[in-house]
A and B are shown apart, each in its own frame.
Chain A
Amino acid sequence: MKKGKKLIFEMSRPGRTALDLPANDVACGPLDKLLPSRFIRKTPAELPEMSQPDLMRHYTGLSTRNFGVDSGFYPLGSCTMKYNPKVNEDVCRYPGLSQLHPLQDSGSVQGALKLLYEMEQYLAEISGMDAVTMQPVAGAHGELTGLKLIRAYHRSRGDNRTKVIVPDSAHGTNPATCTICGLEMFGIKSSEDGSINLDALRAAVGPDTAALMLTNPSTLGLFETNIREIAAIVHEAGGLLYYDGANANAIMGIVNPGDMGFDVAHLNLHKTFSTPHGGGGPGSGPIGVKKRLIPFLPVPVIDFDGEKYTLDENRPSSIGKVHAFYGNFGVIVRAYAYIRAMGPDGLRRVSEDAVLNANYCLSQLKDIYHAPFDRFCMHEFVLTSLKQKPYGIRTLDIAKRLLDYGYHPPTIYFPLIVEEAMMIEPTETESKETLDEFISVLRRIAGEAETDAALLKTAPNDTVVGRLDEVAAARKPIVKWTN
């Protein structure tokens, strides 16, 4: 490892300890009297032995190598790495919320149920749906729940539809969800401009069509302007429309999946509604549904009779539970705080600013990087390294070079339908200065590609660890420390 950081095992010295345990003051017999012999170690565990200051410096040192949206710009396309306001963290730590037990009687947790109930109402309004379940704990989990609802709906009508249409620009989770759900994925090719090919869609739908899964704006950051016609084609064939809400940060308060014709929609609270994600999750992927799917929603459903909130488990057509209790409550509280702090006008401005920021960056970069779709984008956009190809530079090299400048690189090699893609999503929370700095670094890297390609080929050069051998890591991974 570069820049000399030793593994904790290499710093171990026999006999050192970080803690002095107090003398044992309870009776303690021999170990073999307390545990069956098969649970007793034959050889002592090889644990590192260190003093407390060395231990503390080791872990504090490691923690400074973390990169998050609190430490820098993170334009990871499709992931919406916006800044998470710290008031969200304060609110979710209120003892009245954080110290509840999920097995408490619903009569003693009326406030929490009210919060969940209101959150369902807010998300229903934002997504244009009739009802929402907060249970799914990730976007892909929302997809799975949504497809199960769609299947239950068709089956309730004696209709065993199994085909799910997914465009080739879709998030990889869409086809994976079809497979996990026991349905058959049918891919359709996009048009030249990256939109749904209506002829291909017409040819694909039929009496076996269960659903179309679609992201709008698409993974190219482009709004699917034919969405009403797309919805009509699928509905006329008897299928339903599933909205992958990964890109909802572009549309809040302006247009909603319900009005576009979708029947089920998920929203990623950990993207659009500013809760932590990645290693800092967990996530939350609630789904909204149109009226005809309400009977199939997961149990329990929160009911409100005007006075009391109750958890209704008696839903004979329900697909059952999809998560323990009622989803990731602490995450939902953070998103609730965000929605209440922003209000309807604030949320609309979020989307307006997210789209403005993306278009600003695109306008400042498209002369120097190839922009495959030369039109206004939504909250993110796709560039490629086509103009850098003559210098032997690939998108991977540009992404690695960004690390030297202290940026988290954008999403690369996705969407799959664009060769050497890099997908940039600045989000609404970044200032013009931050965007300008990022733009100037990307322009500088384009210059380096022409004059000093080796610098990009070997990048990152200034990080703790240099360019990794991903092939060796995948073929011959070393996952365990051995002396």
Chain B
Amino acid sequence: MNIPKELKYTKEHEWARISGNRVTVGITDFAQSQLGDIVYVELPAAGTIVNKGKSFSVVESVKAVSDIYAPVTGVVVDANQVLSDAPEHINKDPYGQGWIGVIEMKSEAELEGMLDADAYGHVAAEGGH
């Protein structure tokens, strides 16, 4: 299972790449493998205010429709429009071209509650939540 060391994770299987106050969000390799072929992504609109732990995107696979939760509170500043036509990027490259959105976070303190790669590895090994 691919869990890059440099990223932060949530128990709900989102990853976050932090660069200053901008947080790029996607779903983990484990999440995409559990969901199966992704067929549709409801992208967050730029300017949307999101709250930590609340839904900010929806991913639909042949098996299920799943909420994607914002790992931090802030404002959506970008979304991966490529996914509208090619949602399969999430399956093929979950940490790269499969990114979903970028949130400009309000408070860096929220990052402290997030998991590192090792801790997330345990969550995924238990089969999720």
Distance in Å from the Cβ of A22 to the closest Cβ of chain B?
50
Interfacial chain B residues near A474, Cβ < 8 Å: 37, 39-40, 60, 62
Q: Bound complex: CA of A475 vs CA of B60, how far in Å?
A: 10
B87 within 8 A of A: yes
Within 8 A of A (CB), among B1-58: 37, 39-40
Residue on A with the closest CB to B62?
Answer: A470
> Chain A, 49-64, contact with B by CB distance < 8 Å: what is the 0/1 string?
0000000000000000
A413 within 8 A of B: yes
A479 within 8 A of B: no
Residue on B with the closest CB to A470?
Answer: B62
Q: Bound complex: CA of A413 vs CA of B34, how far in Å?
A: 12
B88 within 8 A of A: yes
Q: Bound complex: CA of A416 vs CA of B37, how far in Å?
A: 17
> Chain B, 64-100, contact with A by CB distance < 8 Å: what is the 0/1 string?
1000000000000000000000011000000000000
B63 within 8 A of A: yes
Interfacial chain A residues near B64, Cβ < 8 Å: 416
Residue on A with the closest CB to B37?
Answer: A471
The number of residues on chain A lying at the interface, defined by a beta carbon within 8 Å of a beta carbon of chain B, is 6
Within 8 A of A (CB), among B76-129: 87-88
Distance in Å from the Cβ of A192 to the closest Cβ of chain B?
13
Say yes or no: B40 contacts A413, CB within 8 Å.
no
Residue on B with the closest CB to A189?
Answer: B129
Q: Bound complex: CA of A416 vs CA of B40, how far in Å?
A: 21
Interfacial chain A residues near B37, Cβ < 8 Å: 470-471, 474
Say yes or no: B39 contacts A413, CB within 8 Å.
no
The number of residues on chain B lying at the interface, defined by a beta carbon within 8 Å of a beta carbon of chain A, is 9
Residue on A with the closest CB to B64?
Answer: A416
Which of A413, A416, A470, A475 is close to B87, meaning CB atoms less than 8 Å apart? A475
Interfacial chain A residues near B63, Cβ < 8 Å: 413
> Chain A, 146-188, contact with B by CB distance < 8 Å: what is the 0/1 string?
0000000000000000000000000000000000000000000
> Chain A, 399-438, contact with B by CB distance < 8 Å: what is the 0/1 string?
0000000000000010010000000000000000000000
Q: Give the tally of cross-chain contacts (CB within 8 A).
A: 16
Interfacial chain A residues near B62, Cβ < 8 Å: 470-471, 474
Q: Bound complex: CA of A474 vs CA of B37, how far in Å?
A: 10
Q: Bound complex: CA of A416 vs CA of B62, how far in Å?
A: 14
Interfacial chain A residues near B87, Cβ < 8 Å: 475
Residue on A with the closest CB to B60?
Answer: A474
Distance in Å from the Cβ of B82 to the closest Cβ of chain A?
14
Residue on B with the closest CB to A474?
Answer: B39
Q: Bound complex: CA of A60 vs CA of B37, how far in Å?
A: 36
Q: Bound complex: CA of A416 vs CA of B34, how far in Å?
A: 12
Distance in Å from the Cβ of A396 to the closest Cβ of chain B?
10
> Chain A, 465-480, contact with B by CB distance < 8 Å: what is the 0/1 string?
0000011001100000
Interfacial chain B residues near A471, Cβ < 8 Å: 37, 39, 62
Q: Bound complex: CA of A471 vs CA of B92, how far in Å?
A: 14
Interfacial chain B residues near A475, Cβ < 8 Å: 39-40, 87-88
Q: Bound complex: CA of A470 vs CA of B37, how far in Å?
A: 9
Q: Bound complex: CA of A416 vs CA of B129, how far in Å?
A: 12
Residue on A with the closest CB to B63?
Answer: A413
Distance in Å from the Cβ of B18 to the closest Cβ of chain A?
29
Q: Bound complex: CA of A383 vs CA of B23, how far in Å?
A: 43
Q: Which of B39, B40, B63 has the most CB of A within 10 A?
A: B39
Interfacial chain B residues near A413, Cβ < 8 Å: 63
Distance in Å from the Cβ of B76 to the closest Cβ of chain A?
21
Interfacial chain B residues near A470, Cβ < 8 Å: 37, 62
Interfacial chain A residues near B60, Cβ < 8 Å: 474
Q: Bound complex: CA of A76 vs CA of B88, how far in Å?
A: 31
> Chain A, 457-471, contact with B by CB distance < 8 Å: what is the 0/1 string?
000000000000011
Distance in Å from the Cβ of A416 to the closest Cβ of chain B?
8
Interfacial chain A residues near B88, Cβ < 8 Å: 475
Q: Bound complex: CA of A135 vs CA of B90, how far in Å?
A: 44
Q: Bound complex: CA of A475 vs CA of B40, how far in Å?
A: 7
Residue on B with the closest CB to A471?
Answer: B37
Residue on A with the closest CB to B85?
Answer: A475
Q: Bound complex: CA of A416 vs CA of B64, how far in Å?
A: 10
Distance in Å from the Cβ of B42 to the closest Cβ of chain A?
14
Interfacial chain A residues near B39, Cβ < 8 Å: 471, 474-475
Q: Which of B37, B40, B63, B87 has the most CB of A within 10 A?
A: B37
Distance in Å from the Cβ of A409 to the closest Cβ of chain B?
16
Q: Bound complex: CA of A413 vs CA of B37, how far in Å?
A: 15
Distance in Å from the Cβ of A274 to the closest Cβ of chain B?
31
Interfacial chain B residues near A416, Cβ < 8 Å: 64
Q: Bound complex: CA of A427 vs CA of B96, how far in Å?
A: 49
Distance in Å from the Cβ of B35 to the closest Cβ of chain A?
12
Residue on A with the closest CB to B87?
Answer: A475
Distance in Å from the Cβ of A163 to the closest Cβ of chain B?
15
Interfacial chain A residues near B40, Cβ < 8 Å: 474-475
Residue on B with the closest CB to A419?
Answer: B127
| Sample of 8 A–B contacts (CB below 8 Å) | A413-B63, A416-B64, A470-B37, A471-B39, A471-B62, A474-B37, A474-B60, A475-B87
* Chain B residues packing against A (C-beta within 8 Å): 37, 39-40, 60, 62-64, 87-88
Top 5 A-B pairs, shortest CB-CB distance? A474-B39, A471-B37, A470-B62, A475-B39, A471-B62
Given pairs A470-B37, A475-B39, A475-B88, 9 additional interface contacts (CB within 8 A): A413-B63, A470-B62, A471-B37, A471-B39, A471-B62, A474-B37, A474-B39, A474-B60, A474-B62
